[in-house]
Structure 1
């Protein structure tokens, strides 16, 4: 066997049965049940596909939206995300000045070119803005001064700076001529997601016809008050061709909303972290370039210092979302895990979309359930162990 070739014994996250996974040259070659009468699966960890985060703004004090980036920052974030079971991610660049967006995109592209860790961990870039609603509430924390209508020439300039790595864009179809812009994105392999919007149901319908396929953190980045019906949340839920991403950290959406999204969207429901740079840090008061003075609580809630009821972003990773969804009986473990792994993988047509099957890349995690907690033990990227919890060495 090669250097990173191995046989992993673990409990399959879907079937609950003990299996042996043969990994060769970074690929899952076979998955065979362990049939020995003497085997004790209670000693084995659970194996599942690596997590895929479609929306992450930063982690552990590192911010994809503050330029210039510190040296080697991108690769450092990827390494830290491996400790959270995230084997592929989409760094998210949000509304900013034209030059700041370009510099962030260039920095990510440069990192992917020169750092194998960044190249392996980054499946694409998510551009969230600046073609979003300028209205208070809908625009969330995005800077009003930099919001603008869709501009294909400008987008192409940014795509060139990104080395073609912009794979997803969040926009609002309320702008005139949004549909032709969405169609051009779709034709050029860029997934269009609707978010931070004040669009009418008719405009959302036009966007879907033009190729929009997803809703960005549905239910957040929205007005505090809106018409009972029709409104842009109902319309996105009702559009069969739109997949829905939600932040399931227990703070951004009440359980009732999560339950409705899961029931309506079924296998088109996905989890994202939308984590900001303060995620992964200890509880305390921090000063940010977007929200000013903010408080990160020991429970993981991030709110404005002057008002604990106003969120200042997400500070929880996908593992916490899976924990919340399963602990609140909103989904079984396998389904919740799929919402954060194979579904986003398949949605973005990544090689890891097939999950735990022969021929798939060996992007895997091993974990245990300890009461209400999920305890990650090991992470593998392309068959190479990239994280091992110290106490199990």
Structure 2
């Protein structure tokens, strides 16, 4: 793909509301200076960083055979949503299917330099999760299993060392040892799809677990008033938390509480699946089998409407939702989907819209409560442009 390099981008700073000119040199922001206001200026912000992408626009990263062309096509679709970095997410499946998906993704990244700039690693969600109905979510119970370090090393070899985040449940007997080994080798560990008790969660945090994956989801429909694993994770100050802000996975009241509790440690994640951007109807999917996508944008299991089967909305739509519902202001909502996940992964983009930071930018406008991306920039090069 031929890339257009930019030297100057003008727009309204998403944090301050001030019109600025961003000067770019060698893929980095060299300087940001104030300019005169113009009614035609778009907004400027750091590009989105999504820690959990299962698929999008008809492409399922967990449906084999998977090709490098499919991964690149999905990536291009995400550029149109303002995404400048993301973690392809491989979920619970057979040992062989997980290995094959990891191998294809790693090979595609290795062969395409542009993909390597966009994909800083892979997220393995499962199969080391709770086997219980509810916490397991729509993951196939036939493949759920306890943490296995030898098996994980096999998968990490297939991924050429690119597995960067693992979501598991610490309720398994050997989970703490597994977490410690992951952390020692530079792999971040998240708690998710769990039925773990208070002490199991505390032990996981002591061992190095640092994140809650889509907190409040992948849970029993009914929980004890207290204690329970949602309160326990909220109370762990060392745990950051991702949330799905699509209006279906969490009620507004819960989002409000999570945001108040986690403050700067709250992040957004899309958990988007292949039906993202698709038409309402009934579908057959890898995760969940028969699912229904409603006209309102809710994706649930056909036989169990109370169980969701992932999200069909992107980070752009989640940020729009939080702002529209007045759960937070634009700067906070955007940071939860950009600089905070970048900081969690240790990416240079954690500096955001600042001199010296990578020129990873989203240029957008706000229309009728919706954010519309019309230019996505990675290291000063235009990846997507419309209108």
Distance in 1 between residues matched to 2:184 and 2:289, nearest whole Å:
39
Contact conserved, 1:11 with 1:41, CA < 8 A, in 2?
no
The aligned counterpart of 1:243 is 240
The aligned counterpart of 1:11 is 12
Q: Secondary structure at the match of 2:52?
A: strand
The aligned counterpart of 1:262 is 259
Distance in 2 between residues matched to 1:133 and 1:289, nearest whole Å:
19
Q: Secondary structure at the match of 2:39?
A: helix
Q: Does structure 1 residue 31 correspond to structure 2 residue 28? A: no
Q: Does structure 1 residue 108 correspond to structure 2 residue 105? A: yes
The aligned counterpart of 2:321 is 324
Distance in 1 between residues matched to 2:364 and 2:324, nearest whole Å:
16
Point out where structure 1 has 5 or more consecutive residues left out of the alignment: none
**Residue deviations 1:215-254, cap 9 Å, x none?**
0000000011121111100000000000011000000000
The aligned counterpart of 1:223 is 220
Contact conserved, 1:83 with 1:387, CA < 8 A, in 2?
yes
1:119 CA drift (Å): 1.4
Q: How does 1:264-303 map to 2 (within 5 A)?
A: 264-303=261-300
**Residue deviations 1:57-104, cap 9 Å, x none?**
001111111122135111111111000001100000001111110000
2:139 to 134, 137, 142: 142
Contact conserved, 1:4 with 1:25, CA < 8 A, in 2?
no
Give the length in aligned residue pairs: 385
1:191 CA drift (Å): 0.5
Contact conserved, 2:242 with 2:267, CA < 8 A, in 1?
yes
Q: Secondary structure at the match of 2:137?
A: coil
Distance in 2 between residues matched to 1:328 and 1:3, nearest whole Å:
36
When residues 112 and 245 of structure 1 are mapped into structure 2, their CA distance, relative to the original with a 3 A threshold, is: same
Distance in 2 between residues matched to 1:352 and 1:344, nearest whole Å:
9
1:304 CA drift (Å): 3.1
Q: How does 1:1-393 map to 2 (within 5 A)?
A: 4-34=5-35, 39-306=36-303, 308-389=305-386, 392=387
1:118 CA drift (Å): 1.9
How high is the TM-score relative to the length of structure 2? 0.97
How high is the TM-score relative to the length of structure 1? 0.95
Q: Secondary structure at the match of 1:369?
A: strand
Tell me the C-alpha RMSD between the 2 structures. 1.4
- Displaced runs of 4 or more, over 4 A: 306-309
Distance in 2 between residues matched to 1:305 and 1:50, nearest whole Å:
35
